[in-house]
Amino acid sequence: MIVISNPFVVANEIKIIHSLFVEGLDLLHIRKPNFSNIEMVEFLHQIKLEYRSNLVLHSHHQLAEDLGINRIHFSEKDRTNSFLINPDQKTFSTSTHSIEDFNALENFNYAFLGPVFTSISKEDYHPKENHFEALKSKTNNKTKVIALGGIDSENIKKTLENGFDDAALLGTIWNNENPIKQFKLCQKIVRSCFL
């Protein structure tokens, strides 16, 4: 399972991040678009070194090498700059909003597709198409497809049973009074899907 950081600073964020990793979080996408380089370095240095290989940078890609981060995420907008990708050196992910864009991807290990449901964290951000139906036209079998948008404990099972390889959580974690409890609930449901 993937968790995306809140783009804004959250109280006790580093403590929550460490707890998520202790509970078995696979990947944490660091999405802090308004951070300066210095703020990003300071933020990343607070996360224990042992979790460095589980971090994915959404921005500040130039810091990855120095910080030993081997996972880079390209937004849909930045994907045109991804021609520099050398898939042998790093793991790459990106965001897509249609199955056509997803099918056209090359050199990406996985890609978000969404919003699948109405977003929990973004106001008035709704699906423009039924992504479960769209997945029936999936032709790109090299790239894993990750559900994004409105994923929570109520719909994560349906998501995984209907063609998505995994799910990314944002609002259901960071907008929850007890993010760790919510993560564990979603994790339990995901594990039951793969038994």
Question: Of 126, 130, 80, which Cα lies nearest the Cα of 106?
Answer: 80
pLDDT at 107 over 90: no
Return the CATH number at 61: 3.20.20.70
For residues 180 and 123, the model is more confident at: 180
Split into its structural domains, the chain has a count of 1
CB within 8 A of 108, min separation 6: which ones?
A: 92, 93, 94, 143
Q: How far is 119 from 149, CA to CA, in rounded Å?
A: 5
Angle at 106 between CA 187 and CA 170, to 5 degrees: 30
Q: By residue range, what is the domain housing residue 16?
A: 2-193
**pLDDT range class, residue 84, cuts 50, 70, 90:** low
Region for residue 149 given its phi and psi (left: phi exceeds 0; alpha: psi -120 to 50; beta: otherwise): left
Mean pLDDT of 95-108: 94
- Band of pLDDT at residue 83, cut at 50, 70 and 90: low
Which of the four pLDDT bands, split at 50, 70 and 90, describes residue 81?
A: low
**pLDDT score of 94:** 95
Max Cα-Cα span within the chain: 44
Q: How many CA atoms are closer than 13 Å to the CA of 105, on its beta-carbon side?
A: 32
Residue type, 112: F
Question: Phi first, then psi: what are they for 60, rounded to 5°?
Answer: 55, 40
pLDDT of residue 135: 97
Whether the upstream peptide bond of residue 115 has omega within 30° of 0, thus cis, is yes
Q: Are 93 and 71 in contact (CB under 8 A)?
A: yes
**Residue 118 pLDDT greater than 60, yes or no:** yes
